[in-house]
Amino acid sequence: MGEYRDKNEKEIFTRILKAGRRTYFFDVRETRAGDYYLTITESKKNFNQDGEASFEKHKIYLYKEDFEEFKEMYDEATGYIINEKGEDVISEKHVKDYKPIGEDDKDEYSF
């Protein structure tokens, strides 16, 4: 088992996307049978009351037999978001003068 673990943990292929407090890791790994699969890990940096950093991680395992359907659903969902809301980012994090709906004059978006 140790040999498999050493072989499985080596990086076959990896890409990293840093996005603010979140980092996404796209890693290709190898099954025991020698086939490849993809792991997508979201790592979010949090700070406790003492200011000490910790990381919250979430991982998805994606196997080749699911790639096409996953890609189709991903494309459909992201396309829906862009079609409905456009590509502009409207959020407290990205827009300096952002105010949630309901504050001040209750316009749909207050800037």
Q: pLDDT per residue over 53-67, tens digit each?
A: 888 999 999 999 999
Query: At residue 110, does pLDDT exceed 60?
Result: no
Please answer whether residues 101 and 109 qualify as being in contact, where contact means their C-beta atoms are separated by less than 8 angstroms: yes
Please answer whether residues 39 and 60 qualify as being in contact, where contact means their C-beta atoms are separated by less than 8 angstroms: yes
Angle at the Cα of 9 from the Cα atoms of 60 and 55, rounded to 5 degrees: 55
pTM for this prediction: 0.66
Output phi, psi for 83, to 5 deg: -65, -40
Q: pLDDT per residue over 68-85, tens digit each?
A: 999 999 999 999 999 999
Which numeric CATH code is attached to 2-65? 3.10.450.700
Task: Please state which of the ranges 62-71, 78-87, 89-98, 101-110 shows the lowest mean pLDDT.
Answer: 101-110
d(CA 38, CA 102): 42
Structure confidence at residue 104 (pLDDT):
55
